[in-house]
Amino acid sequence: MREKYFLVLDIGKTNIKIHVLDSDQHSKKVYTKKNSVINSGPYPHVNIDDIWQWVIEVLNSITRVYCIDSIVVSTHGATAVLFDPEQPNGLALPVLDYEFQGVEEFDHEYNVIRPEFYESFSPSLPGGLNIGRQLFWLEKKFARQFENVKSILLYPQYWVWRLTGQLTSECTSLGCHTDLWSPTKNRFTAFAKARGWDALFPPRVDAWEVVSQVSADVVDLTGLPKECKVHGGVHDSSASFLRFIPHYKNRDFCVMSTGTWVIGMSKGGDPLTLHQDKDMLANVDVEGELVRCIRFMGGREYSEICDFVGNPNDKPLSQARVQHLIDNDIFAVPNFSNGSGPFGKKQPEVIGHCSDGPALASLYCALMMNYCADLLNANNEIVITGSFIQNPILCEVFAQLRAGQPLKLARDTGGTVRGAALLANWPSEPNVSLDNGQASQLSGLTTYQETWLKLATTPNTDTLNEREAHQS
């Protein structure tokens, strides 16, 4: 009997990947292509036909070598498909690119009727990051085409339909700052019901549920075995988070997922502690449970600080370089991301003379992560994942700021794929390896952190006075 493998189709905003994994979840083959947006037509939109053609070509190549038993789809959030079964690709309208700012055209109306934060736990986000705003704009601008919409599919489930012909919905994409879902009540918001959109979403399935076998057409196009199963599909951030659920079982925990965005995700706790003006929100995990979240653009801010102050030192970052900043009262004060995060309304500032960008940026990001953990009331074990793992000094400073609290480092890569892989056999055994985080031994860090927090929370009109007083 041929060994059976499974696939993860991971459609990210920047890159699309297809991973072939064996039964032990070891990656055997990875195919990658750039994602693209078409800027012509009625509005910027996803190049759906290009993605599907590439998927078919890759699957043809894979099936010559591997016997594929099942497929899990993971995609980025904030994307919905207006479905018309009469169209070959199922699209009543092109799939809107969520970065398109034009959907804010009717915000004077939308902001009046969108749900209250403590119903949806979905803050008002720019462009089309709230699916409700997308749908409102599309319904008003393209009323005739909208009348042909028979279903609304979330993005992972659109690709499940392309593979199986079955229409479904799933909670992780519904609960991703859409304005359409109430995570505490596990149902559509009153706003979604009032618009009549709730009736357009197909029945919900669990992310791990087998929706169907691949369709006969897909078998013919790809060479996949007709017995190949397709699971419900998942939002990519939720896929990254879910791999820690089996590890912690019923214990509360917090994940700091780092990269361009640093996203703190806390399992357990009171959702009423979330504050939308601090870039806090709730997502939903694969089991339908609310996950409290906070965000800042850590990777981008790190780069901006390095560009702002320069980096003449090309040696590996050391604790001594960070100690120099503390000893000399040199601060990076938010915000360096042009509007996101808990200090989004602040103007960026560097206080004191500094030319060591990596040291200052690392100290800044550690302080921001600590502040985010405080806002989440993250008093249980914290796991750091993602690109900041490659910066041990940053992680060590964060560990010292969280003195006495267990800190773990997930050094493995491919968190989204490793999480999605668990869905092929859920509930699954843990597939994450965690190392203990070590704390730095910086002197004066507590006093420095207190001063930084005062500067960060002081309105910009007063910051200059604070700086002058601090430097005098």
Say what the pLDDT of residue 195 is: 98
Q: Quote the CA–CA distance of 320 and 182 in Å, as a whole number.
A: 48
End-to-end CA distance of the chain: 78
Q: Quote the CA–CA distance of 183 and 203 in Å, as a whole number.
A: 17
The pLDDT of 87-111, averaged and rounded, is: 96
Say what the pLDDT of residue 428 is: 85
What residues pair up with 351 in beta bridges, in sequence order?
A: 331
Using pLDDT thresholds of 50, 70 and 90, give the confidence band for residue 445. very high
How many Cβ atoms sit within 10 Å of the Cβ of residue 271?
Answer: 15
218 and 145 belong to one structural domain: yes
228 and 244 belong to one structural domain: no
pLDDT tens digit string along 161-182?
Answer: 999 999 999 999 999 999 999 9
Asked if omega into 250 is within 30° of 0 (cis), the reply is: no
CB 35 within 8 A of CB 15: yes
255 and 221 belong to one structural domain: no
Cα angle 400, 402, 403; round to 5? 65
149 and 247 belong to one structural domain: no
The pLDDT of 187-193, averaged and rounded, is: 98
37 and 137 belong to one structural domain: yes
Say what the pLDDT of residue 1 is: 54
Q: Please, what's the b/e burial string for 92-119 (b: 16 or more CB within 10 A of its CB; e: otherwise)?
A: bbbbbbbebeebbeeeeebeeebbebeb
Residue 154 has pLDDT above 50, yes or no: yes
Residue 471 has pLDDT above 60, yes or no: no
Closest C-alpha to 318, from 356, 352, 351: 356
303 and 373 belong to one structural domain: yes
User: Which of these three, 212, 232, 252, is where a domain ends?
Assistant: 232
The pLDDT of 380-389, averaged and rounded, is: 93
Say what the pLDDT of residue 340 is: 85
Say what the pLDDT of residue 313 is: 65
Report field, pTM of the whole predicted structure over 0.85: yes
User: Between β-strands 15-21 and 151-154, what pairing exists: parallel, antiparallel or unpaired?
Assistant: unpaired
278 and 389 belong to one structural domain: yes
Average pLDDT of the chain, as a whole number = 93
pLDDT tens digit string along 255-305?
Answer: 999 988 899 999 888 999 999 999 999 999 999 999 999 999 999 999 999
Say what the pLDDT of residue 218 is: 98
CB 14 within 8 A of CB 79: no
327 and 467 belong to one structural domain: yes
91 and 209 belong to one structural domain: yes
The two tokens of residue 448 are: 């420095």
User: Between β-strands 280-284 and 290-296, what pairing exists: parallel, antiparallel or unpaired?
Assistant: antiparallel
User: Which of these three, 205, 232, 259, is where a domain ends?
Assistant: 232
Q: Quote the CA–CA distance of 296 and 283 in Å, as a whole number.
A: 16
**Domain containing residue 373: CATH number:** 3.30.420.40
Cα 314 to Cα 295, 325, 332, 353, 358: the distances in Å are: 30, 17, 20, 19, 9
219 and 259 belong to one structural domain: no
How many domains is the chain built from? 2
Q: Quote the CA–CA distance of 75 and 55 in Å, as a whole number.
A: 14
User: Which of these three, 232, 266, 293, is where a domain ends?
Assistant: 232
How many Cβ atoms sit within 10 Å of the Cβ of residue 460?
Answer: 12
Using CA of residue 289, residue 292, residue 297, residue 302, what is the dihedral sign?
Answer: negative
Residue-number span of the structural domain to which 139 is assigned: 4-232
Using pLDDT thresholds of 50, 70 and 90, give the confidence band for residue 350. very high
pLDDT tens digit string along 314-332?
Answer: 778 999 999 999 999 999 9
Q: Is 289 exposed, middle or buried (0-12, 13-18, 19+ CB in 10 A)?
A: middle
58 and 150 belong to one structural domain: yes
Asked if omega into 123 is within 30° of 0 (cis), the reply is: no
Say what the pLDDT of residue 285 is: 95
372 and 437 belong to one structural domain: yes
